[in-house]
Amino acid sequence: MSSTARYAVFGHPVAHSLSPFIHAEFGRQVGIALRYDAIEATIDGFAAALERFAAEGGVGANITLPHKEAAFALCRERSERALRAGAANTLTLIEGGWRGDNTDGAGLVRDITERHRLDLRGRRALMLGAGGAARGVAPALLDAGLEELVIVNRSPERADALVDTLGDPGRAKSRYWADLGELGDFELVVNATSAGRSARSLDLPFSLVSPRCLAVDLSYGEAAIAFTAWARAAGCPHVIDGLGMLVEQAALAFEQWHGKRVETEPVYQALKARAAGLHTGD
Ligand code: ATR
């Protein structure tokens, strides 16, 4: 791939995206000089911004909130996992348009099983939320061998819709948020709600947490503080936020675009150190 090819992340807001840093680090690691920008696009302006990007040499794009469904809709081709998620986070220019993929779910599974060395097989899991983030990761979690995936959403019809899409009624089922106290305990609890992004905390019972529970917040930074604090207070032995997933989904996109595998650990550690510095005011 030519070094003048352009890459970018599209979002709204996007100014604080870590993707430009992550891709620059990966590029440095494998000796590829690449241009990777953060492009701010409103919901109405997204399609035009993407078209402009392609006209100016754009060949690969990461898509973040709130454009993943819109990106999926305008693709000419879609990978199997993008189809299952109904959303795309990675676009690659092909003849006559874009090919859409979704690396979020595989990124999450890679973070859990490879970085944190935790096995997902046989776990009873609870997913809080049924929006875009939940849809992006639920298929990959099922593929990783969960025994059961209970989906609970504030508005129950969205949980039902996600369960229908997953098409695995033996393992994926919906329950009411109001019944959280009666669902027993879980070995995996995933927070896929956006509550933390608006500084809201969820009122969750400690009874959800089993002694070997892994709690995962798909958000990172400030947005993940309330849920991860709840999980620790509930006695969860493994608590992780979405920073590792972010790095892994980026690596999967990078590998598609550049055909080279990268080491994610140094980049993950650099971001963790940076986040710790921010929290202590360094
Ligand atoms: P994302 O792409 O981050 O998933 P989304 O598609 O808007 O964003 O979905 C947000 C999710 O967080 C939804 O599951 C939403 O519940 P509703 O479908 O009932 O709106 C959930 N959510 C947001 N704020 C919440 C809160 N305060 N309590 C519980 N769930 C919340």
Q: What is the pTM of this model?
A: 0.95
With pLDDT > 90 as the criterion, what percentage of the chain qualifies? 93
Tell me if residue 31 falls in helix, strand or coil.
coil
Calpha distance 129→38 (Å, rounded): 27
The CB of 194 under 6 Å from ligand 1? The reply is: yes
Q: Using pLDDT thresholds of 50, 70 and 90, give the confidence band for residue 199.
A: confident
Reported CATH class of domain 6-104+246-266: alpha beta
Name the residue of 89, 162, 163, 194 to mutate for ligand 1: max ligand atoms within 8 A of Cβ.
194
Reported CATH class of domain 107-243: alpha beta
Instruction: Tell me whether domains 6-104+246-266 and 107-243 share a fold.
Output: yes
The structure tokens 């709840």 sit at 230
161 C-alpha to ligand 1 centroid (Å): 14
The structure tokens 């440095």 sit at 28
Mean pLDDT to the nearest integer, 189-218: 95
Please report the atom of ligand 1 found closest to the CA of residue 193.
Answer: 12
Other C-beta atoms lying within 10 Å of the C-beta of residue 71 = 25
DSSP annotation of 75: -
Instruction: Tell me if residue 68 is catalytic.
Output: yes
Mean pLDDT to the nearest integer, 48-60: 97
With pLDDT > 70 as the criterion, what percentage of the chain qualifies? 97
Task: Answer for the pair 76, 94: CB distance below 8 angstroms, yes or no.
Answer: yes
- In Å, how far are 112, 156, 249 from 243, measured between CA atoms? 11, 28, 10
The structure tokens 């500084």 sit at 199
70 C-alpha to ligand 1 centroid (Å): 18
Residue ranges per domain, the chain?
6-104+246-266, 107-243
The structure tokens 């503080």 sit at 225
156 C-alpha to ligand 1 centroid (Å): 11
Cis ω on the peptide bond leading into residue 66 (within 30° of 0)?
A: yes
The structure tokens 């590829």 sit at 32
Residue 248 confidence (pLDDT) above 70: yes
Q: What pLDDT, in 10s, does the model give residues 97-155?
A: 999 999 999 999 999 999 999 999 999 999 999 999 999 999 999 999 999 999 999 99
Residues pairing with 270 in the sheet:
none
